[in-house]
């Protein structure tokens, strides 16, 4: 710590071998004998509540963070170790090195940062018996494992349907006039003449007319009978006007669409007070 500013790595983003963001570096554990970085801790899991140990020997510092030759799953699945008084004993160190497929020996480690501060380098798999941890950042603050530091809360978002209307042509209507033929029956009063046989007595007024002919003879007399017959004529006349117009009616239609919603769940020993 008196040679290198190891605190500059606290809070930087740790990237895995497949260039995935693992989380923020929380602490740097130094070898007690060489005072060189031995392990880094990275905050993983939901809200960064889990802390995983990663060997510092193969770490490489770049402009956007620190990269290690281990996969993200390998780092997240690292064994949980007991830190007694800020130190790791040799059995815990051995477990960690074996998990990452690195050899372990009990001689002093020469891993660590070069004086120029361009990267974490050193002999692979050599550690001292114990390592002391430096002070990490404040775990009471919120830390986003995939990006910058945040506060204690996480924002949940969801998609909302914004439904409106648009006018478009739905069809066309037209007026068409055509002719049909129907039977129509009308009752018409008609007058007809018919012959009526009447008798009248001889009177002084009609006596001369009655005796003007022979006394005995054969005679015929006829009258013309007339009658009315229906006469049909057709006249076209306008009866009404028909106009094509439009009116607006309001219906209801149901719109169904998929929306995405974010959900937040907690991992670990958390009292859910929502």
Instruction: Indicate which CATH number applies to the domain containing 72.
Output: 3.90.50.10
Q: Is 77 within a domain?
A: yes
Q: Is 143 within a domain?
A: no
What's the number of domains the chain is made of?
1
Q: Is 131 within a domain?
A: yes
Question: Per-residue confidence of the chain (274 residues) as pLDDT tens digits?
Answer: 333 567 677 888 999 998 888 888 988 888 888 888 888 999 876 655 678 999 988 888 888 889 999 999 999 888 888 777 678 888 888 889 999 998 876 554 444 333 333 333 323 333 333 333 433 444 444 555 555 555 667 888 998 888 888 888 989 999 999 999 999 999 999 999 999 988 888 888 888 887 787 878 888 889 999 999 999 999 999 999 999 899 999 999 898 988 888 888 887 777 877 7
Q: Which pTM value belongs to this model? A: 0.40
| Distance from C-alpha of 5 to C-alpha of 146, rounded to nearest angstrom | 24
Q: Is 238 within a domain?
A: no
Task: Count how many Cα atoms sit within 13 Å of the Cα of residue 269 in the half-sphere of its side chain.
Answer: 0
Q: From residue 245, how far is each of 167, 173, 225, 239, 250 by CA, in Å?
A: 18, 9, 61, 20, 17
| Distance from C-alpha of 90 to C-alpha of 129, rounded to nearest angstrom | 5
Q: Is 256 within a domain?
A: no
Q: Structural domain of residue 24, as residue ranges? A: 6-137
């Amino acid at each position: 710590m008196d040679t290198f500013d190891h605190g500059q790595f606290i809070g930087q983003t740790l990237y895995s071998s497949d260039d995935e963001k693992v989380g923020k570096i929380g602490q740097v554990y130094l070898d007690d004998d060489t005072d060189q970085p031995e392990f880094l801790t990275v905050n993983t899991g939901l809200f960064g509540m889990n802390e995983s140990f990663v060997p510092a020997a193969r770490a490489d510092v770049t402009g956007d963070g620190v990269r290690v030759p281990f996969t993200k799953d390998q780092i997240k699945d690292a064994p949980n170790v007991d830190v007694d008084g800020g130190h790791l004993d040799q059995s815990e160190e051995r477990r960690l090195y074996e998990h990452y497929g690195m050899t372990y020996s009990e001689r002093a480690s020469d891993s660590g940062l070069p004086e120029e501060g361009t990267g974490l380098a050193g002999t692979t798999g050599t550690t001292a018996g114990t390592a002391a941890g430096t002070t990490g950042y404040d775990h009471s603050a919120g830390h986003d494992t995939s990006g910058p530091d945040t506060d204690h809360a996480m924002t949940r978002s969801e998609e909302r349907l914004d439904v409106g209307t648009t006018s478009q042509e739905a069809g066309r209507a037209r007026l068409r006039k055509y002719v049909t033929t129907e039977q129509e029956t009308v009752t018409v009063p008609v007058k007809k003449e018919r012959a009526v046989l009447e008798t009248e007595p001889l009177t002084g007024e009609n006596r001369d007319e009655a005796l003007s002919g022979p006394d005995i003879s054969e005679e015929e007399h006829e009258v013309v009978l007339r009658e009315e017959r229906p006469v049909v004529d057709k006249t076209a006349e306008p009866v009404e006007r028909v106009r094509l117009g439009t009116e607006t009616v309001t219906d209801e239609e149901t719109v169904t669409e998929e929306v995405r919603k974010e959900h937040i769940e907690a991992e670990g020993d958390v009292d859910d007070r929502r």
